[in-house]
Structure 1
Amino acid sequence: MLDALNSAGQALNRKEGLNNDIVRIGALPTAALGILPTVIGQFHKQQKDITLQVATMNNTMLLAGLKSGEIDIGIGRMSDPELMSGLHYELLFLESLKLVVRPGHPLLQETVTLSRVMEWPVVVSPKGTVPRQKRRSAAPEPGL
C-alpha cells in the first residue's frame, strides 16, 4: 500500500506548477482505523509535500469513487469482477470470516459446525459485500 501511495505522490511531483498536491484516499472503516495510520506515517516521512485526504466509505462507494475520479486510491475488499472492471487492483491481505458468540452461548458447549451455526440467527455483512457472498456460497439460505 505504501508503494501505491508513493507512486501517486511521485506522479504528482512530476506535474509542473502545482502546489499543495493532494492524494485522495477512500478506505473501508476497518482499513482507516487499522493499517492506514501506519502507512500514512511512513508515507509522510518520504513525501512531505503531499497532502493525503482520507474518506471512509463502503466498498460500493469506494469503487464508484475510483471510477468517477473522486478518489485516487481505494483500500477496500475484492468485489464482483464486473464492479471492478477498468480498475487496477492488488491483493494486500486475506480476511477470514469469524464466528462470534456471547459468553455461555450453547455453541460453546459442542463442536461447532456450519450446519449447527445455521440453526441460530446470524448477523452477516450487508448485501453486495464479499464476506456476505462468501457466507452465501458456504451455506446458501433463502432470504439472505
Structure 2
Amino acid sequence: MKSAEITAAVPDFLADAAAEPTSEPRARILARLRLRHLNCIVAIAQERTMARAAARLHLSQPAVSKTLSELEEWAGTRLVERGRNGASLTAEGEHFLRYALDVRRAVDASAAALAREHPAQAAAVRIGALPTVQTAVLPRAIVGLQAVMPGVGVKVEVASNADLLGALKAGDIDMMIGRMAEPASMPGISFEYLYTESLVLVARAGHPLAQARATLSLEDALAYPLAIAGEHTAPRHHTEAFFESRGLTLPAGCVETQSLAVARLVVMRSDAVWIVPQRVADDDIAAGLLAVIDVPAPRGVEQIGMLRRSAEPLSEASGAFAEQLRRAILV
C-alpha cells in the first residue's frame, strides 16, 4: 500500500508529532507506515494479549512487539498497556484504532470489488450478546430480520460484557446487546436502553414448591438444590448481594454454570430451583415447562441495552436488525 493511500489512518496525535523535537514529521511517518502496523493494533485490540495477537497475524511475538514499538515511537506516547491481565489499548491507542479500522474496512471493500463479490452475498450482521441475552431477545429479532431482509445473514458471538466491548471497539462485531461498562471504557461507544433485567426463581412444572398453596419464603426454596450463574458474572453478583441483604449465604451443593442449556436441563430433570433472568425463562414458563416460585427475588438489577460505535453509522442490514431488536423487546 502506498503511503498516500493511508493518510486517513494517521490521527492528529501522530500528525502533530512534528511539533515535538523527538518525533517524526508527518511525511516521514507516511513514508514508513504500512498496513502491517494497522493490522498490529487491530489484532492487539481484538485478542487482548500480545501472544494471541501474534498468533492471529501468523507472526512471532517479537515481530508484533517491534511493530508496536515503531508505532509508539512515532506517536511519542504509549498505545498499549501490558500487564498481568493482558494487553489493553490506552486512550491514544483507541483513538488510533478507529483510523486503523477505517482503512481496514476500505481495504476489505476494495478486495470484494476486485473479486466482483456482490454486496448481498457478503451481507451479514455481526452481533455480540451476553449469555443471558442470547435466548431472551435475539431469536425474535433474528426471525424478524429474516422476514424483512431474507438475503442477510446473522453471525452471533456470545461472550462476557468485557470481551464483547473489546470486540466492538476492534470492529469484530457491528453491535452488542449487553450492559453499560465503566465510563473509562465507553469513549466512542453509544448505549441505547432496551430493558431492565430482573431475576426469578423457577422450577420444573409439577415441582412441590410450584404446587404449594401456603405462602413461601426464600428459605423454603433453599431446601432444594440451586442452579445459579457461574462466578464473575452479573447475575451471580446480584444473586449473592440479594442473599447477603437478607442475612443468607449460598448453600452448599449449588450447580454453578454459565451455560443456560445445562442449568435448564438440570432443573427440568430434577427438583433443583433455578435463579435466572426472567426473560430467559419466559418462553418455558409460557409453555408450561417451568413455573415461577413465588418467593422474593432480585428485581430491576441491571439495565440491558444495545451498544455500537458512535462515530460509525449502521449499515442498512444492521439498522434493520436494530429495529427488529427494539420490536422484540415489546413482545
Fold agreement, TM-score > 0.5:
yes
Shift of 1:50: 5.1
Q: CA RMSD in A?
A: 3.8
Residues of 1 paired with 2:212 and 2:136: CA distance?
29
Retained in 1: the 8 A contact 2:123–2:153? Answer: yes
Residue in structure 2 matching 1:63, options 161, 165, 177: 165
Q: Which of residues 89, 112, 128 in structure 2 aligns to 1:26?
A: 128
Equivalent residue number for residue 89 of structure 1:
191
Q: 1:122 aligns with which of 199, 210, 226?
A: 226
Larger radius of gyration: 2
- 1:35 is matched with 137
Deviations 1:123-142 (A, max 9, x none): 21122222222212211256
Distance 1:105-1:46 versus aligned 2 partners, 3 A rule: closer
**Count of residue correspondences:** 128
**Alpha-carbon distance in 2 for matches of 1:32, 1:137:** 24
Q: Distance in 1 between matches of 2:143 and 2:223?
A: 45
TM-score (norm 1): 0.59
Summarize the alignment of residues 10-21 of structure 1 with structure 2, pairs less than 5 Å apart. 19=119, 20-21=122-123
Which ranges in structure 2 are unaligned for 5 or more consecutive residues?
Answer: 1-105, 113-118, 252-331
Residue 126 of structure 1 aligns with an amino acid whose one-letter code is: G
Per-residue CA deviations over 1:59-115 (Å, capped at 9, x if unaligned) read 443233223332121123x26x43883132222123321212451259946422234
Q: 2:208 matched to 1:104? A: yes
Q: Secondary structure at the match of 2:196?
A: coil
Structure 1 unaligned regions, length at least 5? 1-14
2-side partners of 1:48 and 1:106: how far apart?
A: 42
| One-letter amino acid of the counterpart of residue 133, structure 1 | H
Partner of 1:10 in structure 2?
none
Structure in which a larger fraction of residues adopt strand = 2
Confirm or deny: 8 A CA contact 1:63 1:83 kept in the other structure: no
Per the alignment, residue 241 of structure 2 pairs with: 137
TM-score, normalised via structure 2 length: 0.31
